[in-house]
Structure 1
Amino acid sequence: MTTSTFRLPAHPVVRAFAEAINNGDRAAFMALLTPGATMTDDGSPRDLAQWADHEIFDANGRFDVRREEPGGLGMIVKFGNDTWGAMNTRWDFTVQGDRISRFDTGQA
């Protein structure tokens, strides 16, 4: 399925993040992160690279925005993968320049 099938975030850096997920492009995804970028899943800190492989790239992750806050750094996303199926999830991003330094996700 191509990125054009999904509603993408308005913020350009977060949009590129979602496109990398939907296109299965791990290299593009990792290039969007600052050195030492961090993340949490349901409030628990995770190893970002390991989490991304398991939840996104090894499982055909899909990112489809349902509702977005002004500024485009917080949103409700229908996130799906081949392991868990699709569910509404909350995503919040911290962006530094043209890269993401942190994101937090979890069930909405």
Structure 2
Amino acid sequence: MSVQLNDPAVAAFVAAVNAGDKDAFFATLTDDATMSDDGSERDLAAWTEKEIFSAAGRMEVDRVSPDGHTLEVTYTNSTWGAMHTRWTFTVRDGKVSRFETGQA
């Protein structure tokens, strides 16, 4: 990571993605977590398996918002290569309850 993340839940999310650790990743989420990709709602388990875990997804954080809930990231996986993306997080009770990602 090239910048400091100031929200512990978001930092744990990024660390789990970069470690390829599914158990740690799902531990960062609320039981009812949801997500969207480029504005379309997605099945969280199916999307993360395809776009993160089976494709060796990695996040290099380039910028973080002052509240720590919006990241600009160079996201790389074996399917799409590297792309500039934005990730916005909703955090509830110390866990991510929703994330939205898409091209930045």
* Band of TM-score, shorter chain: over 0.9
**What TM-score results when the alignment is normalised by the length of structure 2?**
0.95
**What TM-score results when the alignment is normalised by the length of structure 1?**
0.91
Instruction: Describe the superposition over 1:31-62 as per-residue Cα deviations: whole angstroms up to 9, x where unpaired.
Output: 11111110000000000011000000000000
SS at match of 1:20: helix
Aligned to 2:84: 88
Deviation at 1:75, TM superposition (A): 1.4
Instruction: Describe the superposition over 1:59-92 as per-residue Cα deviations: whole angstroms up to 9, x where unpaired.
Output: 0000111111101101111011000001110110
1:77 aligns with 2:76: no
Q: Distance in 2 between matches of 1:70 and 1:51?
A: 28
Which consecutive aligned stretches of 4+ in structure 1 deviate over 4 angstroms post-superposition? none
Aligned to 2:100: 104
Aligned to 1:58: 54
Q: Which runs of 5+ in 2 are unaligned?
A: none
| CA-atom RMSD in angstroms | 1.0
Q: Which amino acid in 2 is paired with 1:60? A: A
Aligned sequence identity (%):
53
Q: Which runs of 5+ in 1 are unaligned?
A: 1-5
| 1:4-19 mapped onto 2 (5 Å cutoff) | 6-7=1-2, 9-19=5-15
SS at match of 1:83: coil
Q: Which amino acid in 2 is paired with 1:59? A: A
